[in-house]
Amino acid sequence: MTTITFYSYKGGVGRSLAVANVARYLAGFGQRVFAIDFDLEAPGLHYKFALDAGNGAAQIKQGVVDYISAFRTGGQPPDSLSDYVVPVETADKEAQSGKIWLMPAGSVTSASYWRLLAQISWHDLFYSDAAPGVPLFLELKQQIEQQFKPDFLLIDSRTGITEVGGVATTVLPEKLVCLLMRNRENLDGAREVLRSIKRVPRLPGQPEIEVVPVLTRIPESGEVGWEEEVVAKVHEFSMNQHQISR
């Protein structure tokens, strides 16, 4: 299983849409794909899989927030993920062999979702004595691998700097797709985050995280030299990353 996190420092760059599109694209090649929504404060990946209405919405009963909550109250991770995962319908050509599953953030139209989210103490999970957050999320990844046997795990990360975003970008992935808009705010923020990712130690057997910067929402100006300028920006960004990693 290859784990790819989609991250953006700021919102509105099309990150969730990219996760959904990549999932469908991979499924079209017969791959088994598991997508997970870690954008707990502004969940929306289920919309991109058209699970926001009708049967789809009805299927979503629990998700990541409920999984964390079950650990908090039960004292151990739930044995089975089946209650927290919904299958995503694939187009006919994809259905021949590929599959997509989604672990949504939760049932976001219910008040209990927001109450449970507010009750998660990130401090207790990560910064208290013997905080169990890191192994809890690693265990979730292992459970996904063992119970669904996907070829790819795609993580829709929270924007900015948050605990759950940190898990998605530093603890779990082998590859990180960093979506950027071409402005200083986006580029500086993303650069700082990517620097930190290079600093984070990896567990034995975990490869160094491969970062793939993707420039999005490029305005089509049609001016002479525009395309070269965009390419140069990406190149400059990539060179900076290369220097950082060394």
130 φ/ψ sector (left φ>0, alpha ψ -120 to 50, else beta): left
Q: Which of 61, 199, 217, 242 binds other proteins (CB under 8 A)?
A: 199
Alpha-carbon span 31 to 134, nearest angstrom:
28
Q: Which of 166, 173, 211, 215 binds other proteins (CB under 8 A)?
A: 166
Total of chain residues touching other proteins, rule CB under 8 A: 45
Residue 175 pairs with which residues in a beta bridge? 4, 210
Within positions 95 to 124, which residues make up the interface with other proteins, using CB under 8 A? 115-116, 119
| Closest distance of CB 49 from other proteins, Å | 26
Q: Which of 53, 54, 201, 243 binds other proteins (CB under 8 A)?
A: 201
Which one, of 26, 36, 11, 58, lies nearest residue 172 by Cα? 36
| Closest distance of CB 109 from other proteins, Å | 18
Q: Is 204 in the site for other proteins (CB under 8 A)?
A: yes
Q: Is 78 in the site for other proteins (CB under 8 A)?
A: no
Q: Which of 59, 143, 240, 245 binds other proteins (CB under 8 A)?
A: 143
Which residues, 6+ apart, have CB-to-CB distance to 41 below 8 Å?
Answer: 117, 158, 162
| Structural contact between residues 7 and 15, judged by C-beta atoms closer than 8 angstroms | yes
Alpha-carbon span 20 to 50, nearest angstrom:
10
Alpha-carbon span 22 to 39, nearest angstrom:
17
Q: Is 170 in the site for other proteins (CB under 8 A)?
A: yes
Binding site for other proteins (CB under 8 A): 69, 72-77, 115-116, 119, 126-136, 138-139, 142-143, 145-146, 161, 163, 165-167, 169-171, 192-193, 196-197, 199-201, 203-205
